[in-house]
Amino acid sequence: MARQLDSRGDDIEFLLKDFEQWSNSYSKNEELGEKRVNFFTSVIAATFGGLGFLAENNPLRTLELYVAAAFAALVLLLFGILTTLRIKRRNNQTSHYLALIAELRQRLAPHWARTVSGEFIRYDENRRRRSLRNGGYVYVVGLLNSALSMIFSWAVSAALGQTPAIAICGALGSGLFAAIVHIVLLSERKA
């Protein structure tokens, strides 16, 4: 149950500190999501950069290179699924922070002009859902997971000696399957 603000200003100071704490938590949570995606993309780039170097300098035979690529893609795909789940949890926490910040703003609104100075996080309750262009790191990871699935499927097909057409069809099907799995992981389950 919410307390009423008293005229002494003690409650206002308490709410301002609370607002500041939730705003800082929100900012840190957003940074954490960015760092996770940056780390994931860096690991992918380093792994396939290393495989590209091996292919260029050819210390491995073609079959061994395909097997190494398939193994790397599979491990990275599993890492990507875990990253997706962690970012989904982060997004839920961010929504919680934003709801608390909005509630505190509403309670502080009558006292805002005389107690708060400076720039604060802007919150629009009707804000757009996250997307690729709107802070949707989970979608970026989903695209990377689909690409990793395609690389895995292509490398396995090539290692097994399949024709290029079969390898490409398998890779496309695998990428589509990974995208569907990603959508299922993101869907909210209602109890």
Asked if residue 9 has pLDDT above 80, the reply is: no
| pLDDT more than 90, % of the chain | 8
pLDDT band of residue 123 (cuts 50, 70, 90) is very low
Asked if residue 174 has pLDDT above 80, the reply is: yes
pTM over cut 0.85: no
Q: What is the DSSP string of 52-115?
A: HHHHHH--S-HHHHHHHHHHHHHHHHHHHHHHHHHHHHHHHHHHHHHHHHHHHHHHHGGGHHHH
Q: Any idea which residue has 């929504």 for tokens?
A: 95
Asked if residue 118 has pLDDT above 70, the reply is: no
pLDDT band of residue 129 (cuts 50, 70, 90) is low
Higher-confidence residue: 134 or 84?
Answer: 84
Higher-confidence residue: 6 or 70?
Answer: 70
Higher-confidence residue: 11 or 114?
Answer: 11
At 46 the pLDDT is 92
